[in-house]
Amino acid sequence: MESSKPKRRRSETSSTNLRIPEGIILEILWRLPVKSLLKFKSVSKPWLRLISSKYFKKTYIENSRKHKAFPHHSIISPCWNPGGMMINSCPLYALLTEQSTHAPPLDCPKACSSEMLVLGSCNGLICVGVGRDKILLWNPATRESKELPYFFDGVNDIEYCGFISYGFGILDEISGDNYKVYALFYLACWDDEGVPLLCSMGKVYSLKSNSWGETAVYYNETPLHGAIESAGKFASGKLHWIRKTAESKWEIVFLDLTSETFGGLEKPSDDFVPRFGVLDGCLCLFCDRPKMFDIWIWKKYGVEDSWIKFSRIPYDSDSWRTPFVTPLPEEWGQLCMLPNGEVLITYMSSEYESKFVIYSPKDNGFRQRYVDKFKDVDQVEVYSESLVSLVLDDEQEKAKS
């Protein structure tokens, strides 16, 4: 692909017979897996500088997002493995093109040994909840990981606690490079008088300051009371949840990661409880109508963002030649929007085995998939490997100077 940027000067390394300009080197290097790139930092100082540069890290993410073969994308899910709970990963390209694929476990950080949750995945970083109250940020491709400061610092005598809802995302470019985690916990503790206290606590963590912000304590209703899915969907700088307000009534709630305030988003229709997806960084909704899902996408239309109908998945039992059990949609485990606009449907078979079907809006067809090692999958996320470091670039530069 011809680079749209003006050709950069010839590589500084062209001392001998090297005739390949840096622009083309870049075009080759971004296609390599992160593991190979880390290895090739040893080739020479100019290669080290190039691979470590902020520009290259960004190009790597942008190009992988745009490329139709999705060379660096995977589908991840926490799974039970012989060694315990781990996060397994299935290469997206193989999943799209081959009938049967493997999803081996990623090399999890040492701190991950018990119950694990994926709180979110963004730019190659995965935010993992471990056990009852521990949160990690992790780049599986570089094997860098970091445990967040203890959420309940200063809270004494916690009887029990657990995750209610959460999310992970990057601040928009204008606000500068930073990642934030939102976590809402329930907890039971004793107050100073020895009276038992049941409440929920919500906080936002910023990677840049490596600290949790101000605590919001809720005694009755939190802004996320009744959220259908715990994991907030990250799109356009906001985490989104569906919140049930009354029987078959719902609304969309978001948390703006820049301002750290909650807000609401209009709905495209009143159809029954939808699910979320993300396509090209835009929020999508799967609205459940009798015998079909309408897929809506929140996109720029004219000058303003609005809901646009993107596609429709029929699930009239006649149109499925798949052995679905019991009436839908009870058996729909997950709907996951894939970056090519197809939809990955995960469900549990009558033998309690995870099954996968890909729906293509192009030909309105369904393809069945077998993924080895993906078992009891009830949370699927799209993950794309990257060189993003948990030490932000600005800080790296500061440390150097």
Partner 1 sequence: MAAETGTPTTLTLKSNDDELFSVAESAAILSVTIRNMVEDGCAGGVIPLDNVDGKTLASVITYMNGISAIPADEEKKKSYRDKFLSDKDFETLADMVLAANYLNMSCLMDAVSAKIAQVMEKKSVGWVRRKFGIENDYTPEEEAAVKEEHKWTFEGVETDDDN
Say whether residue 63 binds partner 1 (CB under 8 A): no
Say whether residue 325 binds partner 1 (CB under 8 A): no
Q: Which is nearer to partner 1, 1 or 246 (CB)?
A: 1
Token pair of 242 as six digits: 């569906």
| Binding-site string for partner 1 from residue 141 to residue 180, where x marks contact by CB under 8 A and - marks none | --x-------------------------------------
Amino acid letter, residue 180: K
Nearest to 109 by CA among 145, 80, 78: 145
Minimum separation from the CB atom of position 114 to partner 1 (A)? 24
Task: Give the one residue of 27, 133, 251, 331 binding partner 1; rule: CB under 8 A.
Answer: 27
Nearest to 297 by CA among 380, 236, 228, 223: 236
For residue 28, CA distances in Å to 32, 98, 306, 347 come to 7, 25, 38, 38
Minimum separation from the CB atom of position 35 to partner 1 (A)? 5
CB atoms closer than 10 angstroms to residue 197: 15
Task: Give the one residue of 5, 8, 43, 264 binding partner 1; rule: CB under 8 A.
Answer: 43
Say whether residue 15 binds partner 1 (CB under 8 A): yes
Say whether residue 35 binds partner 1 (CB under 8 A): yes
Token pair of 334 as six digits: 């997950």
Write phi, then psi, for 243 (nearest 5 degrees).
Answer: -120, 125
Q: Which long-range contacts does 311-316 make (Cβ < 8 Å, 24+ apart)? A: 311/341, 311/361, 312/361, 313/286, 313/343, 313/359, 313/361, 314/364, 315/291, 316/291, 316/292
Minimum separation from the CB atom of position 259 to partner 1 (A)? 38
Say whether residue 209 binds partner 1 (CB under 8 A): no
Say whether residue 47 binds partner 1 (CB under 8 A): yes
Nearest to 138 by CA among 150, 152, 124: 124
Q: Which is nearer to partner 1, 2 or 351 (CB)?
A: 2
Say whether residue 391 binds partner 1 (CB under 8 A): no
Say whether residue 4 binds partner 1 (CB under 8 A): no
- Binding-site ranges for partner 1 (CB under 8 A): 1-2, 13-21, 23-25, 27-29, 31-33, 35-36, 38-48, 69, 71, 143
